[in-house]
Amino acid sequence: MKAVKDVDEYIALAPKEVQDKLKEFRATIKTAAPGAQERISYGMPYYYYKGRLVYFGLSKKHIGLYIPTPVVEEHKSELKGYETTKATVRFPLDKKLPAMLIKKLIKVRVKKNDETERKK
Protein backbone atom coordinates (compact mmCIF):
# COMPACT_ATOMS: atom_id res chain seq x y z
CA MET A 1 0.00 0.00 0.00
CA LYS A 2 1.12 3.58 -0.61
CA ALA A 3 1.92 5.98 2.23
CA VAL A 4 -1.27 7.05 3.97
CA LYS A 5 -2.10 10.08 6.08
CA ASP A 6 -4.68 8.54 8.43
CA VAL A 7 -6.54 5.37 9.37
CA ASP A 8 -9.56 6.25 7.22
CA GLU A 9 -7.31 6.35 4.16
CA TYR A 10 -5.54 3.13 5.22
CA ILE A 11 -8.89 1.30 5.32
CA ALA A 12 -10.15 2.93 2.11
CA LEU A 13 -7.07 1.74 0.20
CA ALA A 14 -7.47 -1.86 1.39
CA PRO A 15 -9.30 -4.37 -0.83
CA LYS A 16 -13.08 -3.88 -0.59
CA GLU A 17 -13.64 -7.40 0.77
CA VAL A 18 -11.57 -6.71 3.92
CA GLN A 19 -12.57 -3.11 4.67
CA ASP A 20 -15.42 -4.11 6.99
CA LYS A 21 -13.07 -6.37 8.96
CA LEU A 22 -10.54 -3.53 9.28
CA LYS A 23 -13.31 -1.18 10.44
CA GLU A 24 -14.35 -3.76 13.04
CA PHE A 25 -10.74 -4.13 14.20
CA ARG A 26 -10.42 -0.35 14.52
CA ALA A 27 -13.71 -0.07 16.44
CA THR A 28 -12.60 -2.86 18.80
CA ILE A 29 -9.39 -0.98 19.61
CA LYS A 30 -11.23 2.31 20.13
CA THR A 31 -13.73 0.62 22.46
CA ALA A 32 -10.95 -1.01 24.51
CA ALA A 33 -8.87 2.18 24.67
CA PRO A 34 -11.15 5.19 24.17
CA GLY A 35 -8.43 7.59 25.37
CA ALA A 36 -5.86 6.44 22.80
CA GLN A 37 -4.71 8.74 20.05
CA GLU A 38 -5.00 7.30 16.56
CA ARG A 39 -2.04 7.82 14.23
CA ILE A 40 -0.15 6.24 11.35
CA SER A 41 3.30 4.86 12.13
CA TYR A 42 5.43 2.55 9.98
CA GLY A 43 2.67 2.85 7.36
CA MET A 44 -0.02 1.28 9.54
CA PRO A 45 -2.60 2.29 12.14
CA TYR A 46 -1.01 3.03 15.49
CA TYR A 47 -2.57 3.87 18.84
CA TYR A 48 -0.79 5.91 21.49
CA TYR A 49 -1.80 5.96 25.13
CA LYS A 50 0.86 7.00 27.64
CA GLY A 51 3.33 5.35 25.28
CA ARG A 52 3.07 2.72 22.55
CA LEU A 53 -0.22 0.90 22.85
CA VAL A 54 -0.88 -1.14 19.71
CA TYR A 55 -0.55 -1.25 15.91
CA PHE A 56 -2.51 -3.24 13.38
CA GLY A 57 -1.73 -4.08 9.80
CA LEU A 58 -3.30 -5.93 6.90
CA SER A 59 -1.43 -8.77 5.21
CA LYS A 60 -2.59 -11.11 2.45
CA LYS A 61 -4.16 -13.68 4.78
CA HIS A 62 -4.39 -11.99 8.17
CA ILE A 63 -4.61 -8.82 10.22
CA GLY A 64 -1.62 -8.49 12.49
CA LEU A 65 -1.98 -7.05 15.97
CA TYR A 66 1.36 -5.67 17.13
CA ILE A 67 1.37 -5.13 20.87
CA PRO A 68 4.40 -4.41 23.08
CA THR A 69 5.69 -7.27 25.20
CA PRO A 70 4.91 -9.12 27.43
CA VAL A 71 1.16 -9.16 26.64
CA VAL A 72 1.27 -11.98 24.06
CA GLU A 73 3.40 -14.19 26.33
CA GLU A 74 1.09 -13.58 29.30
CA HIS A 75 -1.94 -14.73 27.28
CA LYS A 76 -0.38 -17.65 25.38
CA SER A 77 -3.05 -20.12 26.48
CA GLU A 78 -5.88 -17.88 25.20
CA LEU A 79 -4.02 -17.34 21.93
CA LYS A 80 -3.67 -21.04 21.06
CA GLY A 81 -4.85 -21.48 17.50
CA TYR A 82 -3.43 -18.13 16.39
CA GLU A 83 0.00 -17.61 14.94
CA THR A 84 2.00 -15.51 17.40
CA THR A 85 5.46 -14.09 17.99
CA LYS A 86 6.77 -12.21 21.00
CA ALA A 87 4.73 -9.10 20.18
CA THR A 88 2.40 -10.16 17.33
CA VAL A 89 -0.87 -12.01 16.95
CA ARG A 90 -2.11 -12.87 13.46
CA PHE A 91 -5.87 -13.06 13.02
CA PRO A 92 -6.80 -14.94 9.80
CA LEU A 93 -9.00 -13.03 7.38
CA ASP A 94 -11.16 -16.11 6.77
CA LYS A 95 -12.25 -16.32 10.42
CA LYS A 96 -14.43 -14.12 12.62
CA LEU A 97 -12.48 -11.56 14.64
CA PRO A 98 -12.32 -12.48 18.34
CA ALA A 99 -13.32 -8.98 19.47
CA MET A 100 -13.50 -9.85 23.17
CA LEU A 101 -9.99 -11.35 23.10
CA ILE A 102 -8.59 -8.35 21.21
CA LYS A 103 -10.21 -5.97 23.72
CA LYS A 104 -8.77 -7.95 26.61
CA LEU A 105 -5.23 -7.77 25.19
CA ILE A 106 -5.51 -4.03 24.59
CA LYS A 107 -6.94 -3.36 28.05
CA VAL A 108 -3.99 -5.23 29.57
CA ARG A 109 -1.62 -3.00 27.58
CA VAL A 110 -3.54 0.12 28.71
CA LYS A 111 -3.15 -0.99 32.32
CA LYS A 112 0.58 -1.61 31.84
CA ASN A 113 1.00 1.85 30.27
CA ASP A 114 -0.92 3.39 33.20
CA GLU A 115 1.36 1.60 35.68
CA THR A 116 4.50 2.72 33.85
CA GLU A 117 3.23 6.32 33.82
CA ARG A 118 2.48 6.18 37.56
CA LYS A 119 6.02 5.03 38.32
CA LYS A 120 7.56 8.05 36.58
pLDDT single digits (tens) 43-57? 999 999 999 999 999
Task: Write the pLDDT tens digit of every residue in 93-117.
Answer: 999 999 999 999 999 999 999 999 9
54 contacts 37 by C-beta, under 8 angstroms: no
107 contacts 47 by C-beta, under 8 angstroms: no
The confidence score (pLDDT) of residue 79 equals 97
Confidence check: pLDDT of 2 > 90: no
The confidence score (pLDDT) of residue 120 equals 82
77: Cβ contacts below 8 Å, ≥ 6 apart: none
Average pLDDT over the chain, rounded to an integer? 96
Architecture of the structural domain at 7-110: Alpha-Beta Complex (3.90)
Handedness of CA 109, 66, 63, 57 (dihedral sign): positive
State how far the alpha carbon of 16 is from the alpha carbons of 10, 12, 19, 92, in Å.
Answer: 12, 8, 5, 16
7 contacts 45 by C-beta, under 8 angstroms: yes
Task: Write the pLDDT tens digit of every residue in 62-74.
Answer: 999 999 999 999 9
Confidence check: pLDDT of 1 > 70: no
Ranges of each domain in the chain? 7-110
Q: Which of the two residues, 27 and 1, has the higher pLDDT score? A: 27
